[in-house]
Structure 1
Amino acid sequence: MAVDGVVAGAGPVGRSADRGVVGPRGAGGEEPPRYAPEWLRLREGADAAARARELLGPLRIRPADRTGGPLVVHDLGCGTGSMGRWLAPRLPGAQHWILHDRDPGLLRFAAMAAPRAAADGGPVTVETRRGDVARLTPEVLTGASLVTASALLDVLTRAEVETLADACAGAGCPALLTLSVAGRVELTPADPLDTVITEAFNAHQRRAGLLGPDAVTVAREAFAERGATVRPHPSPWRLGPEEAALTGQWLRGWVGAAVEQRPELRGPAERYLTTRLAACAAGTLRVTVHHTDLLALPRPKGGGPA
């Protein structure tokens, strides 16, 4: 079975080829999207099951410090809006979500599919914006109660993560950044090529200055240097027979990216992929794809603990 082409979603395909929040670059027109809407919809259930609910407790105390007006949430690289559909019903009180993405089609879909009620029945309203994380400023986040993103950190550069941390620190708002890849994958039953494919895939993610599996470490340092209390938490995908469609798509992208990085793997990778897809179809394959969620709570005004 050929592994030509990388299935969007298993890892970054080229430099800046749609990091969600990234706008058009240069004078050559818009770049093709990195994540197809079909992939985003396919992974939404696994994302929802994986996100660290443990981080919502510390987050929920933040709105209590505010008086008047709705909770204002900026969702960076919103895609189809899955983060809002997961988070808005778990936060109490009226909310206003500002959805950022470079793709106007995704923005329209995300706005239409957004939830309309908070955890306590309060209203949820939505607006959309196109923008670039590399140009994010505290002014863009004026009045923000929370910045959030899903599967974004690992497709940013160090400079872009520092820009994000600067903007959040300047605006004094927390950030909940979910599902950043950790660079570790476990497949059962195991195969000798698992480690080889993993290492090649991780190298692919680090191409052209992207952070890939180093993203959470860089983000922790960036937010901590700006006075935030940073809390990471594991958020793995655990894929079994019920997620066979997602697992198959992920496998094609994961192996395809590894072969793109190391073309000499093509022959053994084709055989590996054929075997893995057969096991997936038979319901005998289990996959754990490790991610990390990160909550950064800014230092309160007055200099007390976050």
Structure 2
Amino acid sequence: MRKTTATPADVARRVGGIPAQPGHKSSVSLVESAEAGPESVIAGAGPVGRSGERPTVRLRDAGPDEQPRYAPEWLELREPADAAARSMELLDPLRIRLANLPGRRGLAIHDLGCGTGSMGRWLAPRLDGAQHWVLHDRDPYLLHFAAVASPRAAADGSRVTVETRRGDVARLTPDALLGASLVTASALLDVLTREEVETLAAACAGAGCPALLTLSVAGRVELSTPDPLDDEITAAFNDHQRRGGLLGPDAVSVACEAFADQGATVKVHPSAWQLGPENVGLTAQWLRGWVGAAVEERPGLAERAEPYLAARLAACAAGELRATVHHSDLLALARPTGGAG
């Protein structure tokens, strides 16, 4: 496992799906030259210290000097765009499956890598029936925030309760999902490896529970007023996401295969961010991270990327820039087992 040297100058692990790879500093001189300031790039999340209490919820071993923390400021900034982007079309087949789970006495929902709990705030009020959310994350600060800010009522007014489990979130075993009605996550698949996605699919199949996995980056960006450098930045960014065997923009296709191999029915729907003048803060942060990751991957881009970024940020500040950042949502409907629900 590579070590994280997360500083306020590192590209955020999750700037529009950008994983700040441990041991690799971003080319932030490019970013800072465009718009200097302590908040110009939000400090990102690197892998955290050794996972805590639950050995069935482990990802990779981490060194003792690795820094914790997803940037809560970034998670807060992106939450409205995430909520607007998530696919409503996948909710009806999910509701039908949940309503027909054998032995249902309320829903047990596991939220993997919950961060500040935005997925629960979006989904819980859209599902009927009593719900118990199990929030998984490595960061105790974020777990506390997610629990405090969780919704208290389902769509029909039924009670929603939460518990927190500190630990890594990819190598789930069926034991960790015992009794689960649903596994959900947001912006997770693209920072997993093929093996980890296959393990997740097997765990969901073993538990007989569906999985709703939203906002995986698709590797495509559309900007108003196209620029010849757009395609090069996009390609370099996508390569950056694949570092260390991570799936990046290939995540959804790999996940479709993995869940289908476990006998699940898989549905995919687009869930793009649509960023405009009402999203200036988010768009500016995403631009900095997107270009910064591309330059880190291909340093030869730096000379041309600096004026490119400055021009894009100026257009953003003037309310003249629109961006479509493509993501995909995936619903995997595993074959139910007698113990689910």
What displacement does 1:147 show?
0.1
What displacement does 1:62 show?
2.0
Aligned to 1:53: 88
* Code of the aligned partner of 2:19: P
> TM-score, normalization: structure 2?
0.84
Aligned to 1:130: 166
Whether 2:84 is the aligned partner of 1:73: answer no
Equivalent of 1:273 in 309, 328, 335: 309
| 1:109-258 alignment, distance < 5 Å | 109-258=145-294
Contact 1:24 1:102 in 2 (8 A): no
Equivalent of 1:6 in 5, 11, 16: 11
Aligned to 2:331: 295
Distance 1:255 1:171, change over 3 A: same
What displacement does 1:24 show?
7.2
**Structure with the higher fraction of residues in helix conformation:** 1
Gaps of 5+ in 1: none
- Aligned-residue identity in percent: 71
Gaps of 5+ in 2: 1-8, 23-44, 52-56
Distance 1:202 1:40, change over 3 A: same
* Code of the aligned partner of 1:180: S
* Code of the aligned partner of 1:6: V
RMSD, matched Cα: 1.9
Q: Aligned residue pairs: how many?
A: 298
What displacement does 1:70 show?
1.8
Question: What SS is found at the alignment partner of 2:133?
Answer: strand
Q: Distance in 2 between matches of 1:56 and 1:134?
A: 23
What displacement does 1:132 show?
2.2
Deviations 1:80-128 (A, max 9, x none): 0000000000000000000000000000000000000000000000000
Q: Distance in 1 between matches of 2:137 and 2:194?
A: 20
* Code of the aligned partner of 2:46: A
Distance 1:38 1:72, change over 3 A: same
Deviations 1:254-290 (A, max 9, x none): 0000011011111111100000000001111000000
Q: Distance in 1 between matches of 2:13 and 2:308?
A: 20
* Code of the aligned partner of 1:253: G
Segment of structure 1 superposing worse, 56-65 or 282-291: 56-65
Question: What SS is found at the alignment partner of 1:53?
Answer: coil
Contact 1:133 1:164 in 2 (8 A): no
What displacement does 1:61 show?
1.0
Question: What SS is found at the alignment partner of 1:183?
Answer: strand
Deviations 1:201-230 (A, max 9, x none): 000000000000000000000000000000
Segment of structure 1 superposing worse, 264-273 or 38-47: 264-273
What displacement does 1:65 show?
1.9
Q: Distance in 2 between matches of 1:300 and 1:77?
A: 24
Q: Distance in 1 between matches of 2:252 and 2:13?
A: 21
